[in-house]
Amino acid sequence: MSLVTTTEMFEKAYNGGYAIGAFNVNNMEIVQGITEACGELDAPVILQVSKGARAYANHTYLVKLVEAAIAENPNIPIALHLDHGDTFELCKDCIDGGFTSVMIDASSKSFEDNIALTKQVVDYAHANGVVVEAELGTLAGVEDEVSVEAGKESYTKPEEVQEFVERTGCDSLAIAIGTSHGAYKFTPEQCHRDENGKLVPPPLRFDVLEECIKRLPGFPIVLHGSSSVPQEFVEMVNAYGGQMPNAIGIPEEQLREAAKLAVCKINIDSDIRLAMTGNIRKHFAEHPDHFDPRQYLKPARQAVKDMVAHKIVNVLGCDGKAKDLSVR
């Protein structure tokens, strides 16, 4: 039993009009919540680890947790991916350390420097049977140490994607079409209010996506910053002592539309954080005497599982697809 790369996953997802969920993992409860949902729904999955996750939990612990998830869910293909690798050395560490996929995010560099670093990672990764995600364009929001103010993002230039993919040899490409990292994806000024007073964010740039697809037929596209920031969790956080005013995400219907096109990987992290935090805050408010971490981590893990199950069915459309894929 072993990890898979994303190659077959993306091929099937592209042709099948669905996407694979890429969920960030930082601890045991998150790994369990995600993979239990995937196991029950027969959904392939990408578990992704950021530089911050490695610093928090330690590379070896995370790899071993994922190995445990594979043993517990032998029927679903699981890929282990480095999220937002920013140096060759970090990517190499993960390739040498058992990951099956890495992202080199050199999107803040010039076009030529992005190509040079991405190609260096691709050459090493491919020589070791590992696949590479690269990025063109800049998302708004916060990721690791990089913060880009809402409104200061830059959309991917479709006229650059073909040359970038040809010269780097990358296996998938993350593009910027208006998604954004974190729980505050848009300022209230960027949104309008519907008839019920609810904030409605600006729509994703499907025109940019379509132009990229035209220039890269059959090539898997990735969307970062794709949490929907469910208002039920935001309300739960705020009702039990938290302060997350104006937290807002990407409407799920738009992500579902993207998944039907060339978008094969959809990244979700903030929704996991919100599901856990909302439920832990609620648990503490309702059980002020509890002090055993199992008491509050159990509902938090269940909330992650329920949220992921919802995404699989309603956003990604990858339920029941594991049986069409090899698991090792």
- CA-based angle 212:213:219, to the nearest 5? 110
Give the pair of three-digit tokens for residue 79: 């890929």
Decide: helix, strand or coil at residue 78.
Answer: strand
268 binds, among Zn ion, ligand G3H, ligand 13P, none (CB under 5 to 8 A by kind): ligand 13P
Q: Is 185 in the site for Zn ion (CB under 5 A)?
A: no
Q: Residue 53's binding partner, choosing from Zn ion, ligand G3H, ligand 13P, none, with beta-carbon cut-off 5 to 8 A by kind?
A: ligand G3H
Taking the complex as a whole, the smallest distance from the CB of residue 227 to ligand 13P amounts, in Å, to 3
Q: Extract the tokens encoding 243.
A: 């302060």
In this complex, which beta carbon is closest to ligand G3H, that of residue 42 or of residue 269? 269
Residue 181 CB, shortest distance to ligand 13P, in Å, is 4
Indicate the residue among 184 and 296 with the shorter CB distance to Zn ion: 184
- Name which of residues 82 to 101 contact ligand G3H (CB under 6 A): 83-84
113 annotated active-site:
no
Q: Beta strand 146-148 with 141-143: parallel, antiparallel or unpaired?
A: antiparallel
Q: What angle do CA 94, 100, 106 make, to 5 degrees?
A: 60
- Least Cβ distance, residue 252 to ligand 13P (angstroms): 12
Which among 34-42, 49-57, 114-122, 186-194 is the span making contact with ligand G3H, rule CB under 6 A?
49-57
3-state secondary structure of 112: helix
Complex with ligand G3H: residue 50 or 277, whichever CB lies closer: 50
Listed in sequence order, the DSSP H helices in the chain are 7-16, 28-41, 51-57, 59-72, 88-96, 111-127, 158-168, 206-215, 231-239, 252-260, 270-286, 293-311
Residue linked to tokens 């694979």: 20
Are the C-beta atoms of residues 281 and 241 closer than 8 Å to each other?
Answer: yes
Q: Which of these ranges, 7-15, 45-53, 201-209, 218-226, lies near Zn ion under the rule CB under 5 A? A: 218-226
224 touches Zn ion (CB under 5 A):
yes
199 DSSP assignment: E
- Residue 153, phi then psi, degrees to nearest 5: -70, 165
Report the amino acid identity of residue 225: G
Query: Could you say which of ligand 13P, ligand G3H, Zn ion, none residue 226 binds, taking C-beta under 5 to 8 angstroms by partner kind?
Result: ligand 13P
First to last CA, the chain: 6
Single-letter code of the amino acid located at 198:
K
Q: How far apart are CA 32 and CA 218, in angstroms?
A: 33
The catalytic residue among 42, 83, 86, 105 is 83
Per-residue contact track with ligand G3H, 248 to 277, x per CB under 6 A? Answer: ---------------------x--------
Of the candidate spans 45-53, 154-162, 170-178, 213-221, the one that interacts with ligand G3H by CB under 6 A turns out to be 45-53
- Residues from 14 through 43 that contact ligand G3H (CB under 6 A): 24
User: Does 146 participate in binding ligand G3H (rule CB under 6 A)?
Assistant: no
Q: What residue ranges bind ligand G3H (CB under 6 A)?
A: 24, 50, 52-53, 83-84, 143-144, 181, 269
Residues with catalytic function: 83
User: What residues make contact with Zn ion under the rule CB under 5 A?
Assistant: 224
